Amino acid sequence: MENQDLQVLVADAKAALIGVPSKAQWEQIKATFLGPKGSLTQYAKRMGSIAKEDRPTFGKLLNQAKGEIEEIFQDRLVKLEELEDLKSLGPPIDPTLPSSPSFLGGIHPLTKTRRRIVSIFKKIGFTVAEASEVETEWFCFDALNTPDDHPARDEQDTLFFPSRSNWANVSRKNQESYLLRTHTSSVQIRTLLKEKPPLRVIAPGRCFRRDTVDATHSANFHQTEGLFVDHKVTVRDLKGVLDYFLKELFGDKVETRLRPSFFPFTEPSFEVDLKVPDLGKLSNKWIEIMGCGMVDPAVLNLVEIDPQEWNGFAFGLGIERVTMLLHGIDDIRHFYQNDQRFLSQFSSQV
């Protein structure tokens, strides 16, 4: 009899807890069963009116029912706490919703120009050569036939590593002074020492000069070097390659001219000018674009290539300069300031 009543109480407790939304209500309901005035507590009071010999059984059944009811409440409490935790995480996530747009980075305009230049030269058999930005004075100047007193070697123009002054008393032969390369022409020497002619290489890379930064100067900039060595190479070959290159870059209507110039490592040397009909403010004007010339036999001798058998040409151009001309950019500093308003204008172009 008692057991049946107790089982009804257990079932009641289960039913009472269905859909309880909060811990506060859970507390209230719990009191109606297990509190001092709760139904189980009331039921326990019957003990007094029960025959002595039945009391142990009654007590046992009572404790069993109490245990079951307590467990029911405990389980429910755990679930309520889980729900409260979930609520504190905010609204549930709907994984089927489209994601918010992410910011897509673009390729830097200088990288784009470099890639274009490289791909134009690759079409006519040039391969890419690379060397380090930290160079020795020998590779940057001596091997390129640059005299000791050449102004480019001046500490006002070139960024030398501090050790240079300590070398003052060491003979030139043993002296290795390091600097940040001022041009990519050092890659000519590294290539000539490594590879046997005939060769065609293009060497894009970063260069450094001790320049005061303004709209057209930057202490850090980029160049692309070109070197072509073969038998019986002529200035006409040089002009042909550069005309092809500049047409690919600036369009078929480009006109070019070679103007005599001087570089210690080329003889004869030229500046290349170009004229383009549609180049904004610079349309139809002669603009200097790059330096070039026939590799000086003295350079070939130095790297033990016989200048009677081999000769060639070299050229070098600034990647910033080309990019500025192509896109009508008027200040070199834009390239290094990481301003999204500037950079995003190039992000859709390949």
Question: In the range 260-289, which residues lie near ligand PHE by CB under 6 A?
Answer: 263, 266
Does position 158 bind ligand PHE by CB under 6 A? no
Supply the minimum distance, in Å, between the C-beta of residue 128 and ligand PHE.
16
Q: Which two tokens stand for residue 168?
A: 């003052």
Does position 314 bind ligand PHE by CB under 6 A? yes
Q: Of the two residues 121 and 315, which places its CB atom closer to ligand PHE in the complex? A: 315
Region binding ligand PHE by CB under 6 A among candidate stretches 22-30, 48-56, 297-305, 310-318: 310-318
Residue nearest to ligand PHE (CB): 316
Question: In the range 206-245, which residues lie near ligand PHE by CB under 6 A?
Answer: 225
Q: Is the dihedral of CA 226, 230, 236, 237 positive or negative?
A: negative
Supply the minimum distance, in Å, between the C-beta of residue 161 and ligand PHE.
20
The Cβ of residue 179 has, within 10 Å, a number of other Cβ atoms equal to: 22
The Cβ of residue 249 has, within 10 Å, a number of other Cβ atoms equal to: 19
Among 38, 197, 204, 293, binds ligand PHE (CB under 6 A): 293
Angle between helices 235-250 and 109-122 (to 10 degrees): 130
Q: Which residue shows structure tokens 């005599």? A: 260
Q: For 327, phi and psi rounded to 5 degrees? A: -115, 5
Residues 111/118, Cβ–Cβ less than 8 Å: no
Does position 312 bind ligand PHE by CB under 6 A? no
For residue 321, the SS3 value is: helix
Among 291, 321, 322, 324, binds ligand PHE (CB under 6 A): 291
Supply the minimum distance, in Å, between the C-beta of residue 316 and ligand PHE.
3
Site size toward ligand PHE, by CB under 6 A: 11
Region binding ligand PHE by CB under 6 A among candidate stretches 24-32, 214-222, 239-247, 311-319: 311-319
Supply the minimum distance, in Å, between the C-beta of residue 277 and ligand PHE.
27
Q: Which two tokens stand for residue 249?
A: 């870059």
Among 208, 250, 310, 315, binds ligand PHE (CB under 6 A): 315
Does position 185 bind ligand PHE by CB under 6 A? yes
Q: Which two tokens stand for residue 244?
A: 């092809």
Q: Which two tokens stand for residue 201?
A: 């290489």
DSSP character string of 193-229: HHSPSSEEEEEEEEEE--PPPSSS--SEEEEEEEEEE
Q: Of the two residues 204 and 291, which places its CB atom closer to ligand PHE in the complex? A: 291
The Cβ of residue 69 has, within 10 Å, a number of other Cβ atoms equal to: 22
Which residues are near ligand PHE by CB under 6 A? 183, 185, 225, 263, 266, 291-293, 314-316
